[in-house]
Structure 1
Amino acid sequence: MDKISDAKDRLIEGTRQLLWDRGYLGTSPTAILRRSGVGQGSMYHHFGGKPDLVLAAERRSAELMQAQIREIFTGEGTGLQRIVAYLLLERDVLRGCSVGRLAGDPEIIADEALREPVRDTFGVLNHHLTEAITEAQAAGELDARLRPEQTAAALAALVQGGYALARAEQSVNPFERAVHGALDLLGVPGRRQ
């Protein structure tokens, strides 16, 4: 039984990595088999085809990102400290976001089932950011005039846009400038670069 679930897990993880690097079209069954190191029979034993496997891989990426979000926003610190922790999180900036990159993939966006893990993950992020912003306002850490949901959406967009700018320049500098600009706008002291 372990060998079977190991093959399934390797298929999901291999597909997840390929989606992150190449997108839907670049994630061919041949590339999946090569990356995962399992045979074709195993792939079709566990999954009805590429769309089923891609959905499982997307769900894994979504679960990982959502777990990371929850860990940050349910952890120690004030609302503002958790927002700062999210913004300053160590990331593989040039690779981009494993979930956010899928939002730019036409094949994924055109399919409701494939789009769902992406939408749900950003819903979780927006929820936690909104709560942290509201908490930070109540504690006097953030300007009371900020609209929490809109500010949360802006911060999420800033991180995702920062990835795109960094990839375009093949440098982490645009991402870091964007994050530090957001910290400046939020009035976070001592974060100048």
Structure 2
Amino acid sequence: MDTRERLIESTRELLWERGYVGTSPKAIQARSGAGQGSMYHHFHGKPDLALAAISRSAEELRDRAEAAFTSSGTVSERVAAYLRREREALKGCPVGRLTQDPDVMADPDLRAPIEETFAWLTGRLAGLLAEGRTSGELHAGLDPAATATALVAVLQGGYVLARAAGSAEVYAQAVDGALGLLACHARQEPSRPA
């Protein structure tokens, strides 16, 4: 991994662990093993490096979600694959946690990749749910946009509840509950005569 990549990855980790204020240039340099000159050679300063790190975290979230959304199976199975994929529930979402950081939210440049990522995620889930409704897998009364928003809220809220309880099991329960509610909208195939 070259110096620029080490700087970005170290900043991603520190932002996830400490937030923007706690991610000092000295901490970034110590974690990455890069000197001050290298840091300022590749980036204009901490905000520029933070933007690269946040954008990378957002891109990784989208890539992982898209892998689940384009896998084989029904719409419900693909949504379940996304919701149940392995996560570090007690650390929280590396993108979602930044919404709690007032310094990140106050900076339009740093906020933009976060806002865009959640808009993309909600839109992508809504598209999948609409596909399931059109194919007859899900009831016609299902509201794809509202349901997608609820699913994203369950994920982010699941992280918060798991951190508060100190238990990843709470996160798993939130996901199970969301999938149970989604299953209520699945159309049952009519029974066939014997």
Tell me the TM-score normalized by structure 1. 0.92
1:72 and 1:124 map into 2 onto residues whose CA distance is 15
Partner of 1:58: 54
2:92 and 2:32 map into 1 onto residues whose CA distance is 22
For residue 111 of structure 2, what is the amino acid of its counterpart?
A: R
For residue 137 of structure 2, what is the amino acid of its counterpart?
A: E
For residue 166 of structure 1, what is the amino acid of its counterpart?
A: A
Deviation, 1:7, is: 0.6
1:70 and 1:86 map into 2 onto residues whose CA distance is 9
Partner of 1:74: 70
Deviation, 1:27, is: 0.3
Partner of 1:155: 151
What is the CA deviation profile of residues 48-103 of structure 1, one whole-angstrom value per residue up to 9, with x for unaligned ones? 11101100100110111111111111221221111111111111111111111111
1:175 and 1:139 map into 2 onto residues whose CA distance is 30
Partner of 1:174: 170
Partner of 1:7: 3
Partner of 1:86: 82
3-state DSSP of counterpart to 1:24: helix
Partner of 2:189: none
For residue 71 of structure 1, what is the amino acid of its counterpart?
A: A
Of 107, 110, 121, the residue aligned with 2:106 is: 110
Q: How does 1:23-34 map to 2 (within 5 A)?
A: 23-34=19-30
2:27 and 2:174 map into 1 onto residues whose CA distance is 35
Deviation, 1:120, is: 1.1
For residue 177 of structure 1, what is the amino acid of its counterpart?
A: Q
What is the CA deviation profile of residues 128-158 of structure 1, one whole-angstrom value per residue up to 9, with x for unaligned ones? 1011111112233223212101110000010
Q: Among the aligned pairs, what percent are the same residue?
A: 54
Partner of 2:39: 43
For residue 105 of structure 2, what is the amino acid of its counterpart?
A: I
Partner of 1:138: 134
For residue 96 of structure 1, what is the amino acid of its counterpart?
A: G
For residue 140 of structure 1, what is the amino acid of its counterpart?
A: G
1:43 and 1:117 map into 2 onto residues whose CA distance is 22
Tell me the TM-score normalized by structure 2. 0.91
1:149 and 1:138 map into 2 onto residues whose CA distance is 14
Partner of 2:13: 17
1:187 and 1:157 map into 2 onto residues whose CA distance is 17
- Larger Rg over CA atoms: 2
What is the CA deviation profile of residues 96-135 of structure 1, one whole-angstrom value per residue up to 9, with x for unaligned ones? 1111111111001011100011011112211210111111
How large is the Cα RMSD of the aligned pairs?
A: 1.4
Unaligned runs of 5+ in 2: 187-194
For residue 37 of structure 1, what is the amino acid of its counterpart?
A: G
3-state DSSP of counterpart to 2:159: helix
